Amino acid sequence: MRTFTTIALMGAIALAKKNLRYVDPEVPCHRSSGNKPEPRITNPLTYTDDLPSEWLWNDVNGVNYLTNVRNQHVP
């Protein structure tokens, strides 16, 4: 058992040494991915009056978009 453990540890050390990455001394901690985030919205959204006063998912133009309740707890 000790022989197997020793061989496994030596193999793990060899793999760890093989997988070491080169670190650029000019930029050791940061590499830019080039992907820039979308600009943030800085002004408030405009108010609109054409929203419905009530919205029900069980009657949208005669279509019910709700599913049956399966895990209903009945006391």
Structure tokens at 22: 């080169």
Give the ranges where the chain is alpha helix by DSSP (H): 2-18
Flag whether the pTM goes above 0.75: no
Distance (Å, rounded) from C-alpha 7 to C-alpha 12? 9
Please, which residues have CB within 8 angstroms of residue 58's CB and are 6 or more apart in sequence? 64, 65, 66
pLDDT per residue of the chain (75 residues) written in tens, 0 to 9: 788 888 888 877 776 665 566 666 776 676 666 777 788 888 888 888 888 888 888 888 888 888 877 666 666
Distance (Å, rounded) from C-alpha 30 to C-alpha 37? 17
User: Rg of the chain over CA atoms, in angstroms?
Assistant: 30
Short-list 19, 16, 21, CA closest to 31: 21
